[in-house]
Structure 1
């Protein structure tokens, strides 16, 4: 048999094998195809009693509701109207499903639930909770004064609940009631800090009449020039070396803690009279030096 005849025979056998495999892999006409059941989104609704996780569909509509609350801030929205406006799907409607959805919404940071007894309209409502509870200049000034840290508040975070806060910030800054750090590029407020006119150095407008109006004390241009001429080293290690060269101890240096009494005193071992003695089974083997010890103690 030639090489061409062998090749044709191989191709013929291969085609027959492929045909047989295809026919055997096809399901019988009488065998029904099994159908897989898909769980309904309502089966994965939040349930605090058994800690069922919130489904992605529910969280999507929770975010829709939060956007509605943000748009109407600071005015609250009745819960029933809110659920109607976000057009809940059929599987999230009904008393049980809506109750679970409201629990999921109340768990969001930016959604605050108001009970019917506390609501002005006597109905259960929701309102938007901003990052900072500030809506005007007086609230901003008092809020900054109550801060426990000196980090201030980001203007971007203030805009979350007070979008048009920039004019008020500029006014309070001109009065000396807040400190403002601005962006170098465009000069827009970036962060605000507490301030008080009582902390400022002032001088009388009329030196002959100290009880008259005061104005902010101006810093001498010569002082500003000298102050600006001092530049900190760009490298922190160079700054530490300069401080140590001037006889100063950097705050990053490890300090040695010395005891107030100097050397540690050695504790004397106290012999207990009623202490339990060991090695009693060796009484006939070991020598008894108790008399020698007593004689030495009496001699001292």
Structure 2
């Protein structure tokens, strides 16, 4: 029993390792491959000792969401292909994907590279055309995030205005910002709010009434007919 458990654990460990290698291989090749090609790369020959591992590997690749399988692919031999997050492999597909975005979050270039190694070069080309906006890494200036751009919205700016704009110096720190605002007669948002203390109003006591009177507003209008009672 212990030997069977050890054998199953060994198979599971080897399977996990070979699935990772197989997916990396599919990602590197960036094209559909047959299962035999994958097995040959992993050096899993067709000996009886490895038959169980090959069968488990095939089932694992078929069930892996990162792998796209086509039964009719490669002339009916069946093909395995890496499935990237967005499935983009060309500039046209990238532009179509960006046009469908409903938010302004942008798309990470690393997610595009995962399945499309040529993504950075394609993004550089589109950026030069004014088709996309790019945020870059500070370390190597490589594209980090990409958005759709519209070249028709770009307008030439007079050089004199550019010079005036560049000549405007921003305050170096928060204290300088505060001083600039106060000098311009503006109130900084960091200014302390003065809380006005409102004294409670004193209530006037109403004078006590001598007795209850009704219809006092009709005095002098109504006539007294009590003497005519029978």
* TM value normalised by structure 2: 0.62
Is the Cα–Cα contact under 8 Å of residues 61 and 88 in structure 1 kept in the other structure? no
Q: Distance in 1 between matches of 2:68 and 2:189?
A: 53
Shift of residue 224, structure 1, vs aligned partner? 4.5
Q: For residue 170 of structure 2, what is the aligned residue in structure 1?
A: 229
Q: Distance in 2 between matches of 1:129 and 1:106?
A: 12
Q: For residue 208 of structure 1, what is the aligned residue in structure 2?
A: none
Q: For residue 36 of structure 2, what is the aligned residue in structure 1?
A: 80
Q: Distance in 1 between matches of 2:13 and 2:158?
A: 60
Q: Distance in 2 between matches of 1:127 and 1:107?
A: 13
SS at match of 2:121: helix
Q: Distance in 2 between matches of 1:101 and 1:41?
A: 19
Q: How big is the alpha-carbon RMSD for the aligned residues of Structure 1 and Structure 2?
A: 3.5
CA offsets 1:186-230 (integer angstroms, 9 cap, x no match): 4332221221123x143xxxxxxxxxxxxx44582223544x626
Decide which of 14, 18, 31 is 1:57's aligned counterpart. Answer: 14
Indicate yes or no: 2:90 matched with 1:136.
yes
SS at match of 2:69: strand
Q: For residue 116 of structure 2, what is the aligned residue in structure 1?
A: 162
CA offsets 1:232-287 (integer angstroms, 9 cap, x no match): 859xxxxxx94476x9xxxxxxxxxxxxxxxxxxxxxxxxxxxxxxxxxxxxxxxx
Structure 1 residues 186 and 83, CA gap change in structure 2 (3 angstroms): closer
Of structures 1 and 2, the one with the larger relative CO (CA 8 A, separation 6+) is 2
Is the Cα–Cα contact under 8 Å of residues 41 and 55 in structure 1 kept in the other structure? no
CA offsets 1:12-42 (integer angstroms, 9 cap, x no match): xxxxxxxxxxxxxxxxxxxxxxxx7412677
Structure 1 residues 146 and 37, CA gap change in structure 2 (3 angstroms): same
Q: Distance in 1 between matches of 2:57 and 2:34?
A: 15
Q: For residue 60 of structure 2, what is the aligned residue in structure 1?
A: 104
Q: Distance in 2 between matches of 1:138 and 1:224?
A: 37
CA offsets 1:98-147 (integer angstroms, 9 cap, x no match): 4443221233343222123xx24112221011233222222222222222
Q: Distance in 2 between matches of 1:136 and 1:80?
A: 28
Q: Distance in 2 between matches of 1:114 and 1:171?
A: 32
Q: For residue 75 of structure 2, what is the aligned residue in structure 1?
A: 121
SS at match of 1:101: helix
Indicate yes or no: 2:34 matched with 1:93.
no
Is the Cα–Cα contact under 8 Å of residues 41 and 57 in structure 1 kept in the other structure? no
Q: Distance in 1 between matches of 2:99 and 2:174?
A: 34
Greater helix percent: which structure? Answer: 2
SS at match of 2:3: coil
Task: Provide structure 1 residue ranges, at least 5 long, that are not aligned to the other structure.
Answer: 1-35, 46-53, 203-215, 235-240, 248-300
SS at match of 2:130: coil
Q: Distance in 2 between matches of 1:122 and 1:195?
A: 42
Shift of residue 87, structure 1, vs aligned partner? 2.8
* TM value normalised by structure 1: 0.49
